[in-house]
Structure 1
């Protein structure tokens, strides 16, 4: 498990703790300077190694040389210094192992220890944070070792009595429990962070896949649009040019009429190409929703072709994703284009129906109709509608009979 992030966080906190200790040492020297003095050397002994630790903790050179053991070295030295402070406190300040605060002697025995002993909890806990349960174990053992060293020095100096040994037991328990709890919480946080990072990477890969799929769909969509516009017009122009070539030698008048017809075909093809490009650029579903986009398309189709178009909705607003709504819109658009080009219809009906189980869109005309089984695989309009329906898991049905019109229905089950 990667613990680099936790070590960086623990190192930042340790630097703050170190800065606070240096400030305490500086304030102690100032008080000694304006007071009676006599303990300056002890404050210098407290301050000097911490200044060195501050350099080791902040200079990049040490971090590069020590690597992942940078924090471990700092915390180990900090525990040693804390143990020395704990051992020297009764010698320097006197009293029954109570440190410089005489009021603490009136508290319970479990609290009658030098404050320096409790400060050992900080590096022991940070060891658990940065290095997990192993760090908590090593940090707690080191802290316990130096507290016991403090007990030995205090007893040897005659300033500790057995009743205060209860405080040692409390400290040892805290050195065992608190770093372990912190290490467990830190490991849990690391696992959650790694899971989040893994989920983020999967999401990025999924987004890249979706993007590539969208690009592929747009290419297919563009291919269908070009086939149904420019390809038809250019094919007709090519056939007419062959006719002009044959007519020039035998019937110049007919050739001139064919050339005029070619001009009309070229203009019609240009208009269709412009319409297709405009349709590719604009996404009316995003701005108006599926119902509004279908209604607007029906109005535009009626104005452009002169055919009567009825638009009908059944149910409420469809509960669709943006991609599903866009697919249904494009299927309806392709069905209307087929009506315009081939059906020779007089009336068209568009129906959008939605229920809790399904959403369906149908386009029905009263045109000449055809036999669906005779439609070849090269008819890109119908093939494109089937492809779009398949991409979103919908079912597309095409019903038509000669002289009975055509109905295209796309049903998406919820």
Structure 2
């Protein structure tokens, strides 16, 4: 539902916020930061972070009248208050930072305490991840991978067009942007090897994804409709699900990914709320076959979200190796969440749902090196003239995302980055 918080004519009085490529007044993403003191919740506004713990203590925002929720190292206490509190807080912050409510703008001393320059802040994990589930929602990605390993005639599994395929990952290794990624060790077995060996991964990859953050829990035995699932999503992050392709190909039969995906998943430090993204909802791709009733959506729940991936070798310049858009995902986050609960699985505040690799129809829009380099056969050129079939030690990956369309203010996600470190034998 759109309201005054989306009005493109409104601008913030905070210096640098108007026209900011990511964090204008219409965005107000949530994160956790510190500035030489204890971590607490803030919202990004231009090149500053509004310290919500300070605003809460001053009585300018009070999502819960009985207790504080922003003087915390995670968003979970705030998310647990539910959609009415989310919306009321967004509107209150929009008015404070937009100047209609002058209690912050007209109090220079309070504003100096509450508006922290982002350059002085350290960003932390924005929420405590309860559980992590990764899906496989891009038809283009699934088709590319299936073509490589099974041939074009058998690219998609028989169930793929009917069901959001996913697997349960590891919440313990979801990390915030900027965390270095140690190359994993594991069992490797080449096609001509007689037996496996234990060694560092040789085919390390990234996966460009979007993560949905669940803010409303559901009880065991409860099934969510797509509308209920959509309403339960607090917001979205950018997500890089690092992948060890050679470990995966040996271990995934018969139960699917395990060690190849368990070692690291990076997310962006800012959670862009579902409310901020209302102007960018779009319809999903046309269905190849009818979906079962519990997956049918009554509203457009895909996001017109542009995405890029930059790859920089150690000490070298970055090159954009992929440009794509999440609007083409075959299954939305709402459908993924509805399917996740269809068996009666309980969902928790802080559950994270990865979209799976986001790939478009052209080679330059594919969201992994596995596809961009077509399983190592056509290495990807970098800015320094070298190429990559898979990631090397010292490589830095940076994912960025933003929503932009005529008649709406651009909403940015910032970036999620990580550098590959050598394995620890």
Alignment TM-score, normalising by the size of structure 2: 0.18
Q: Which has the larger radius of gyration?
A: 1
Higher relative contact order (CA 8 A, sep 6+): 2
